[in-house]
Structure 1
Amino acid sequence: MSQTVRPGSVARTGTGSRAAAGPRGGAADELDDVTLARVVRGDEAAARVMVDRYAPRVFALVGRMLPGRDHATLEDLAQDTFLQAFARLAAFDPQGPARLSTWLLTIAARRAIDELRRRPRAEPRAEVERISADTADAETHRRQLRAALERALADLSPELRAAFLLREYHDLSYQDIADALQIELGTVRSRLARARDALRAALTEVAHG
């Protein structure tokens, strides 16, 4: 399976932009058992179906976990996530408690945390938008809030950021997050509370600024 994800294959799924990813997905979005079995047997066509299905969510997570990283780095991490998944897919139990998407996001989150620890900080690229004179104040304020949220996310520790993104952007349960990050349920709750407090403070500052 190591030949399945070739350079550029993740980008061709339509994940070249972080905004292209729709992070949330339900059970109906999961790969069916027949296709999954074909992937395990080494069927490259089925593997491409799997990449197409899950790459947007994987790319969305690594993109938000690693603000400021260049596109090539994010694509490498997304592809590495799938390579690791293919190598271990035979051990995945489709009848178990975790969805395949949750399992993949777990791998992606750990890879992103490893990258953050290896290269702790990359300044987020500033996105300069020209605001015309007739732009509504409400739209300007929304942009300010969005920018403040992105900065606040970037300021969170890797551990807090991972817990928050997996919960709020990818809708994982507390237990799934605990399994993904290999921590206790109480630690999940604590990290989420701290992350939310930090983000709330950042947004309040902008709202009252």
Structure 2
Amino acid sequence: MAILAALGPRGPTPRTAPGELAPALVERARTGDAEAFRALVLHHQEAVHALLYRLLAPSGREGQVEDCTQETFLRVYRALPGFNPQGAAKLSTWILTIATRLALNELRRPSLVVPVAELASLPVASPHRADALAERRALGQAIRDALGQLPPDQRAVLVLREMHGLEYAEMAEALDLDLGTLKSRLSRARAAMRAALEHHHG
């Protein structure tokens, strides 16, 4: 399922979350240090933006990605004093949990937007590469379309696992699911994506 990386909004995005910030910096951010919080945002903003894009764009809600990114960090700012650095959740997972729940709430709202999002145009370096680039665009769009057909809850588990590398326990915590339900949901999402891609290549 690594092919799903074709959905990256701003070029390649690492599969895993960025490394954790130094505990001292996190503690400064928790106690209201503005510079420390700015460093926290800069460290995690690409992963948050990518997650929200992958959850919202297939439903035609690209226009909400920036707003949801800002809202995520506003909620992080408000809740950070209560975050326990010695707790079970890593800071990166905790932040992605906030973003995921925000995206799912957005996807549950009625929308008048028709999902007609297209992948950004890729530059053609030379004529002989045109066919390969066209195929990549077509495959990326097929993946986007297939993701858009998934129920939001299935889309969330697929994105968190395949694109952000969260462990099952982290995903269960983020989505407030038991492991059995989570694995079943992920299995159904993977099967739907495989079927969609087989149809694309068929």
2:118 maps to 1:126: yes
Match of 1:182 in 2: 176
User: What amino acid maps onto 2:185 in structure 1?
Assistant: R
Q: CA–CA distance in 1 between the matches of 2:185 and 2:166? A: 14
**Structure 1, unpaired ranges of 5+:** 1-16
Q: CA–CA distance in 1 between the matches of 2:94 and 2:116? A: 28
Q: How many residues align?
A: 190
2:152 maps to 1:158: yes
Match of 2:4 in 1: none
2:45 maps to 1:55: yes
2:102 maps to 1:111: yes
Alignment of 1:70-149 (within 5 A): 70-71=62-63, 73-120=64-111, 122-127=114-119, 134-135=128-129, 137-149=131-143
- Percent of aligned pairs with the same residue? 42
CA gap of 1:26–1:64, structure 2 versus 1, over 3 A, is closer
Q: CA–CA distance in 2 between the matches of 1:87 and 1:21? A: 30
TM-score by length of 1: 0.82
User: What amino acid maps onto 1:194 in structure 2?
Assistant: R
CA gap of 1:18–1:145, structure 2 versus 1, over 3 A, is closer
Higher relative contact order (CA 8 A, sep 6+): 2
CA gap of 1:66–1:46, structure 2 versus 1, over 3 A, is same
Please give the per-residue CA displacement for 1:98-127, whole angstroms capped at 9, x wherever unaligned: 211100000000000000001356413234
Q: CA–CA distance in 1 between the matches of 2:48 and 2:180? A: 26
**Structure 2, unpaired ranges of 5+:** 1-7
Higher helix fraction: Structure 1 or Structure 2? 2
Q: What RMSD, in angstroms, separates the aligned Cα atoms of the two structures?
A: 2.3
Q: Report SS of the residue matched to 2:10.
A: helix
2:183 maps to 1:192: no
Match of 1:9 in 2: none
1:141 Cα deviation from its structure 2 partner: 3.0
Q: CA–CA distance in 2 between the matches of 1:164 and 1:188? A: 10
Q: Report SS of the residue matched to 1:51.
A: helix
1:64 Cα deviation from its structure 2 partner: 0.7
Indicate if the aligned counterparts of 2:172 and 2:182 stay in contact, CA closer than 8 A: yes
TM-score by length of 2: 0.84
Match of 1:34 in 2: 24
Please give the per-residue CA displacement for 1:19-59, whole angstroms capped at 9, x wherever unaligned: 257243467x1111111111111111111100000000001
CA gap of 1:188–1:20, structure 2 versus 1, over 3 A, is same
